[in-house]
Amino acid sequence: MKPLTGLKVVELATVLAGPEVGRFLAELGATVVKYEPPKGDVTRGWRLANEDSTSSISAYFAAINAQKSYDVLDLKSSEGIDSLQSLLSDADVLLTNFKPEDEKVFGLTTDSLKSKFPRLIWGKISGFSSDINRPAFDVVLQAETGWISMTGQPNQLPSKLPVAMIDVIAAHQLKEAILLALLEREKHGTGSHWAVSLEEASLSALANQATNYWMNNHVAKAMGTAHPNIAPYGDLLPTKDGKWAVPAIGSHAQFQKFTELLNLSTLASDLRFRSNVDRVTNRSALIEELSKATKQWNSEELNKACGDHRIPLGIVRSLDEVLDSPQAQEVALEEEIEGRKTKRVKSFVARRL
């Protein structure tokens, strides 16, 4: 039996963040029913140009909707609002991402829900905490919270992250809140209500870049894959077979082993590279020297040699190469939805030991 078997979840949320929370709960055994408006979740139509247009779902929709049941609920009608109240009478979790004014129309207020359904856990996603009425999608938050300004190569157009990462981060925040709410309810018998905004979730994930600014007044700029605090870390090193190697050298001991492997042992004692600060300061010269050496290696040989010597390094791989690997298949989940075979990565990949 899965840990959340018997839990009933009413999912009214659309797009990605809220439905991702529902998918997580479903994977853990909860019974999740996704109630969509009459026209369906908008992501049903978010298809690739060459995707099957006759299907009722898109691959995007399938990515974050799995192991759920699907139904229609028209909350623009009085019947739909009445039906929602009935659904909540025995629900454990409610997931929404409505605008504030719509919540009131639908009868979804904290006071009302706590009075009528004291055991209910309500998790809701919003866009901006600084302006609750402002519409938002992931890329808007990537722009407004600094991610796009840091992404891409210097002196080129900035880039967005290729995954809706702000939605994913917000979903993780709400997953944690709901698990906390379930624990509290187990102890005290009452539910609780939790809100996560994409804006605050995004800000929370700035991590070391936020601290670099607040403590050192350092404003992160686009610098490709390189790390602002460590070198060589994230820098792209070319290989003989046209691939890119990405080292993650976190200590001077690792740097010494890496330079020895590349027959560049003198670099470890070079005044320009004797400490991490020196290497960050003289990064361009360092990468030039390392690149000359890595060009003599085939990518997989370099990768294996670094692994054998416990030197952190990876090879830049295409997405098809990654997703066709045995490791990716281990975290894949297949399911037929409305007559279409679907496949996505699992939401929950922790393994019980």
Alpha-carbon span 94 to 178, nearest angstrom:
10
| Tokens 């309500």 sit on residue | 122
Extract the tokens encoding 181. Answer: 């709410």
* Beta carbons of 255 and 198 less than 8 angstroms apart: no
CA dihedral 195, 197, 200, 202 (to 10 degrees): 130
* Beta carbons of 26 and 66 less than 8 angstroms apart: yes
Active-site annotation, residues? 167
Cα-based distances in Å from 283 to 157, 234, 280, 292:
23, 12, 5, 14
* Beta carbons of 15 and 97 less than 8 angstroms apart: yes
Alpha-carbon span 342 to 143, nearest angstrom:
31
Extract the tokens encoding 325. Answer: 């690997």
Alpha-carbon span 340 to 344, nearest angstrom:
13
Q: Which alpha helices (H) appear in 235-338, and where do they start and end?
A: 252-261, 276-281, 283-294, 299-308, 319-323, 326-330
How many CA atoms, within 13 angstroms, populate the side-chain half-sphere of residue 231?
23
Extract the tokens encoding 179. Answer: 């698990």
